[in-house]
Amino acid sequence: MLHILVINAGSSSLKYQFFNMDNREVLAKGICERIGAGGHMRHSVAGKVVLEKDTDMPDHSVAVENVLAALTDADYGVISDMSMVDAVGHRVLHGGQKFSGSMVVNDAVLAAIEECIPLGPLHNPANLMGIRACQKVMPGVPQVAVFETAFHQTMPEQSYLYAIPYEYYEKYGIRKYGFHGTSHRYVSARCAELYGKPAEELKIITCHLGNGSSVAAVKGGKCFDTSMGLTPLDGLVMGTRCGSIDPAVVGFISEQTGASASDVVTMLNKESGLLAVSGISGDYRDVSAADEAGNHRAHIAREMLFQSIKRYIGGYAAEMGGVDALVFTAGIGENNDYLRQRVADGLEFMGISVDPAKNAGRGEDREISAEGARVRTFVISTDEELMIAMDTEELTSK
């Protein structure tokens, strides 16, 4: 039996899932929080919380020790010994231009992740802490890094370059990288499976709609374009991010208010999007409830979101010279039939049409297109952790 631990390390948190890869079942999962400032841990087995405790976790290594102790606990453990952890897969935010696929961690990979810190200043250092903690606590167990940017490395130059002086690209690596790559890769592959054709023969538009949202144009199984950019701020209207706006807004606000450019960018990341337009919340459910109760700004916030998604669907179909399939995924995309219907409404001219009965509610991965629609539309549950576990299995079994 092959067991893989998947780790998503943040600066003060560490989320994990533990897989039996024989049947891809999640045997246990949980989260360590407030690392370095106290410590709290919640651990579930078979969907049930079996452990919740405050416990001192001064650093990520102690968090990993706690995870292993929970996995091997005499009462609720799922393995008898930590030597049964065969490999560890880590979510890493930014691989810059260095990584177009997942990598077994070695010193060169660690150095390259470190070099990408300027591109992912909040996440890459935390991801590195997670990897180093596992190396320390589980020496000899192979570690794999799975990059959120890797899938998008196939974009052609016309998609990823910005039309600014070339030296900024050469000197500072300023270009579009894209994010949510693991999710776009997983759902586009799953879409091809449901479609019944090899991904190489399909043009797919994947809409990852969650707190952070992005759209990808996947042509022949490879990313052709995506809506997030140098950072996750670009593209769609999101929970608290503005998405694409005139870049001159930054300088203008800075001049008007005296705020620094970086303060303005923080505002665009944390105080904008649905939150700013609605004045209520960055959570789509709250905005929906307010819209349904008649709140005008919440209504406009949702309309802006729907319109921004349509804009990318139309744009990417045009860029790819057509589209065979459209995919909705992540928190909003998987769960909100109203959004899916509203995005599809009016796109009949390009062959997109959803069947209200098939679209209704939540549930299994499924096709929701109306009979005879030229573009087939799917709802697919993303599973980034499984994708990381699958990459880890593939790379470590070689």
Residues near ligand AMP, by CB under 6 A: 210-211, 239, 283-285, 330-332, 335-336
With respect to ligand AMP, which residue has the nearer C-beta, 188 or 335?
335
Structure tokens at 194: 């449901």
Are residues 130 and 90 in contact, defined by beta-carbon separation less than 8 angstroms? yes
Q: Does the active-site annotation cover 180?
A: yes
| Residues 335/285, Cβ–Cβ less than 8 Å | no
Q: Is 193 a catalytic residue?
A: no
Query: Distance of CA 298 to CAs 7, 62, 100, 144, 301, Å?
Result: 36, 43, 39, 42, 5
Say which of 180, 184, 299, 302 is annotated catalytic.
180
Residue placing its CB nearer to ligand AMP in the complex, 8 or 335: 335
Q: Which is nearer to ligand AMP, 112 or 289 (CB)?
A: 289
The residues, any chain, with a CB within 8 Å of residue 318's CB and separated by 6 or more, are none
Is 52 marked active-site?
A: no
Give whichever of 182 and 335 is closer to ligand AMP, judged by the CB atom. Answer: 335
Is 91 noted as a catalytic residue in this protein?
yes
Residue with the shortest CB distance to ligand AMP: 331
CB of 337 to ligand AMP, least distance (A): 9
Type of residue numbered 45: V
Closest CB 330 distance from ligand AMP, rounded Å: 4
Strand (E) or helix (H) holding 316: helix 296-320
- Rounded to whole angstroms, how far apart are CA atoms 142 and 395? 9
User: 342 an active-site residue?
Assistant: no
**Which one from 33, 148, 334, 384 is the annotated catalytic residue?**
384
Report, in Å, the least distance between residue 211 CB and ligand AMP: 4
CB of 148 to ligand AMP, least distance (A): 13
Q: How buried is 160 (Cβ within 10 angstroms: 0-12 exposed, 13-18 middle, 19+ buried)?
A: buried
Q: Say which of 3, 43, 90, 91 is annotated catalytic.
A: 91
The nearer residue to ligand AMP, 126 or 133, going by C-beta atoms, is 126
DSSP 3-state percent helix, strand, coil across the chain (nearest 5)? 40, 20, 40
What is the smallest separation between the CB atom of 360 and ligand AMP, expressed in angstroms?
13
Q: Which residues are catalytic?
A: 8, 91, 180, 241, 384
